């Protein structure tokens, strides 16, 4: 695959001016779509399909690669500046990035997110290039039993991702999981909590809920203040990249670990960039020396999750290329494009068309390199938003919330959902109940119930089935250990403390 001959055939395909132009244009498009709340990267990819229909395979695939890389980073921009995640993948660390913005460090934090996104993208690409066939074989051993443990592991991050009272974080998680029960149930297709409304058969759409809980709630919080502060936020005018290298150097272990884990989560069909961000954020907090700062503007969590979601993108290509099974909703569309261009996915794709696959890998690298200047420009332009007086800014943001909630299903019902959850989140937060665990519950609840119920249907309610398979046992053991570890830690601390007291 990685022979000199193949590379020399791939390079001209990649460096064709037409391909470069396509990459540049779709990058701008991706940045734009990612930064708009309510418009997801998968939606943008779907809109590209009719356009790519008339292109040769390399530019068609290059367009999608560069678009998704840009879109996932761009989701961080509104999350950081106005507390609305541009894509669901930015939700995990929104509290940290927004807290830093309020301290006047908007362009610093965006600069860090940009650089770790680029590095995360590189890690994912390297793993994709070197290990795709082997990883795909592992991913295909994942049955519902393994996914159940994965969901459990993700949920155990919930207490880690929140700051403040543990019991309230658990309550918030339960609220999120309960919201997931709305709609047709997985086992029997029975409409739960829909109260006769067919709008709710598929449950609450995630994006309007997320926009409401983050964006609308933030506006409500601010207009409620005695006199809305009309002065703009303070924005530091330094260079975007100033001071960025220090947190990278300090957190390189976190970065590397999150990149690898993010890619791994991306490889698994059914778990994508959003779950990768939550899991790595939770892990970063667990391994951090100052976990109490997470959620209040800690750069470490942000480094972890922001690199992981970009790494996951490349990971998702692994099962798509090797078996034609999509790793996420974007690669589901890309598989269609592969077929359309007569590139049947399968292990033999690497022998059949090595130059095209290598050229696609090349676009991953190219797109991540381009992310630096393009992202820099986007940060520069977008940061100007913060210079707008807030009494003009908030009404405009509210309208963005409305349009963003509408755009995902083109339904006014979702605008109502956005409003209701905005109010709910406001009430929750003003009573000390964090919102982040509820969002995590929404992200993982579906996977949790689906994998549990289908596992039970397969095994006919034999619980031991969760411990019958090697990967399943290993994952189960990790989950149980994670849950038990706070007990051990507190036991050890108590011992130590007791020892000191005695001395």
Partner 1 sequence: MSKRVLAVLLVVAVLCFGGVVSQSEAAFPEQPITIICPFAAGGGTDAVARIIATLMQNDLGKPVNVVNRTGGGGVTGHQAILQAKPDGYTIGLGTAELAMFHWVGLSDIKASDFEPIGGVNLDSAAITVKAGTWKDYASLLADVKANKGKYTASGTVIRGIWHLAMAAWLVGAGLEPDQVRWIPLEGAAPAQQELLAGGIDMVTCSLPEVSALVNEGKLTMLAYMNDSRSPRFPDVPTLKELGVPVSIGTWRGICGPRGIPADVLSVLEASVKKAVDSDEFKQFMDGRGLGVRYLSAKDWGAFMVEADNQFGDVIKAAGLSQ
Partner 2 sequence: MRFNDAVIGAAVVVFGLAVIFHVRTYPDMGGRMMGPALFPTVLALLMIVAGLVQIRAGIKSKEPPVRRLPEFTLSGAVKFLLAAGCVVFYIYASDYLGFLITSFAVMFVLMLALRARPLLAVLVAAGATVCVYLVFNKMLLVPLPIGLFSF
What is the binding site for partner 2 (CB under 8 A)? 32-33, 36, 39, 47, 167-168, 170-171, 174-175, 177-178, 181, 185, 187-188, 190, 192-193, 216, 219-220, 223-226, 228, 230, 389-392, 394-396, 398-400, 402-403, 406-407, 410, 412, 415-416, 418-419, 422-423, 427, 430-431, 433, 449, 452-453, 456-457, 461
- With CB under 5 to 8 Å by kind, the binding choice for 228 among partner 1, partner 2, none is partner 2
Nearest to 304 by CA among 157, 481, 483: 157
Under rule CB under 8 A, residue 502 binds partner 1: no
- With CB under 5 to 8 Å by kind, the binding choice for 419 among partner 2, partner 1, none is partner 2
Element holding 142 (H helix, E strand): none
Site of tokens 């470490």: 300
Take residue 241 and report the two structure tokens written for it.
């990249």
**CB atoms closer than 10 angstroms to residue 324:** 15
Out of 19, 29, 34, 45, which residue is the one contacting partner 1 (CB under 8 A)? 45
Shortest Cβ distance from residue 38 to partner 2 (Å)? 8
First to last CA, the chain: 65
Under rule CB under 8 A, residue 480 binds partner 1: no
- What lies within 8 Å, CB to CB, of 342 at 6+ separation is 57
Q: Which of residues 180-219 bind partner 1 (CB under 8 A)?
A: 184, 186-191, 198-202, 205
Torsion of CA 142, 147, 153, 157, to 10 degrees: 120
Under rule CB under 8 A, residue 332 binds partner 1: yes
Shortest Cβ distance from residue 243 to partner 1 (Å)? 39
Q: Mark the segment that binds partner 1 (CB under 8 A) among 27-35, 294-302, 303-311, 335-343.
A: 335-343
- What lies within 8 Å, CB to CB, of 133 at 6+ separation is 322, 347, 350
75 vs 270 by CB, closer to partner 1: 270
- Interface mask (CB under 8 A) for partner 1, residues 101-140, using x and -? ---------------------------------------x
Tell how far CA 432 is from the center of its chain.
25
Using the CB atoms, write b or e for 164-187: b if 16+ within 10 Å.
eeeebbeebbebbbebbebbeeee
Give yes or no for a contact between 211 and 419, defined as CB atoms under 8 angstroms apart. Answer: no
- With CB under 5 to 8 Å by kind, the binding choice for 205 among partner 2, partner 1, none is partner 1
Take residue 265 and report the two structure tokens written for it.
């989560």
* Rg value, the chain, Cα: 23
In 112-257, beta strands by DSSP E: 183-184, 191-192
- With CB under 5 to 8 Å by kind, the binding choice for 372 among partner 1, partner 2, none is none
Q: Which residues bind partner 1 (CB under 8 A)?
A: 42-43, 45-47, 49-50, 53, 140-145, 184, 186-191, 198-202, 205, 269-270, 323-326, 329-330, 332-333, 336, 339-342, 344-348, 409-411, 413, 450, 453-454, 457-458
């Amino acid at each position: 695959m990685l022979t000199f001959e193949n590379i020399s055939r791939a390079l001209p395909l990649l460096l064709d001016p037409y391909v470069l132009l396509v990459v540049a244009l779709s990058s701008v498009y991706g940045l734009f779509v990612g930064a708009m709340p309510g418009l997801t990267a998968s939606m943008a990819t779907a809109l590209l399909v009719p356009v790519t229909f008339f292109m040769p395979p390399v530019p068609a695939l290059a367009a999608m690669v560069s678009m998704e890389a840009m879109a996932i980073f761009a989701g961080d921009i509104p999350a950081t500046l106005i507390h609305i995640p541009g894509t669901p993948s930015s939700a995990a660390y929104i509290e940290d990035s927004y807290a830093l913005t309020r301290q006047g460090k908007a362009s610093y934090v965006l600069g860090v997110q940009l650089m770790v996104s680029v590095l995360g993208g590189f890690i994912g690409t390297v793993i994709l290039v070197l290990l795709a066939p082997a990883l795909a074989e592992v991913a295909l051993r994942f049955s519902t039993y393994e996914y159940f443990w994965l969901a459990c592991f993700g949920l155990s991050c919930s207490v880690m991702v929140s700051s403040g009272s543990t019991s309230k974080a658990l309550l918030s998680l339960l609220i999120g999981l309960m919201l997931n029960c709305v709609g047709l149930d997985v086992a029997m297709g029975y409409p739960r909590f829909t109260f006769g409304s067919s709008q709710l058969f598929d449950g609450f759409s995630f994006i309007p809920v997320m926009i409401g809980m983050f964006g609308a709630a933030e506006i409500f919080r601010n207009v409620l203040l005695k006199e809305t502060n009309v002065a703009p936020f303070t924005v530091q005018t330094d260079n975007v990249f100033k001071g960025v290298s220090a947190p990278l150097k300090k957190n390189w272990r976190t970065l590397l670990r999150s990149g690898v884990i993010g890619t791994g989560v991306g490889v698994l069909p059914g778990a994508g960039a959003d779950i990768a961000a939550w899991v790595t954020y939770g892990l970063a907090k667990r391994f951090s020396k100052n976990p109490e700062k997470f959620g209040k503007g800690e750069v470490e969590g942000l480094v972890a999750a922001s690199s992981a979601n970009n790494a996951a993108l490349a990971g998702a290509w692994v099962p798509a290329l090797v078996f034609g099974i999509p790793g996420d909703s974007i690669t589901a569309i890309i598989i269609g494009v592969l077929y359309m261009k007569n590139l049947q996915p399968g292990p033999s794709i690497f022998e059949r068309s090595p130059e095209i696959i290598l050229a696609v890998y090349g676009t991953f690298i190219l797109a991540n390199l381009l992310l630096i200047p393009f992202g820099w420009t986007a940060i520069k332009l977008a940061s100007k938003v913060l210079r707008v007086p807030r009494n003009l800014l908030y009404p405009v943001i509210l309208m963005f919330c409305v349009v963003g909630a509408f755009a995902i299903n083109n339904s006014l019902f979702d605008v109502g959902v956005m409003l209701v959850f905005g109010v709910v989140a406001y009430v929750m937060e003003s009573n000390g109940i964090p919102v982040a665990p509820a969002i995590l519950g929404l992200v993982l609840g579906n996977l949790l119930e689906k994998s549990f119920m289908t596992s039970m249907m397969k095994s006919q309610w034999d619980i031991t089935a969760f411990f019958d398979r090697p990967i399943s046992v290993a994952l189960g053991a990790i989950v149980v250990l994670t849950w038990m570890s706070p007990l051990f830690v507190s036991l050890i601390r108590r011992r130590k403390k007791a020892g000191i007291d005695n001395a």
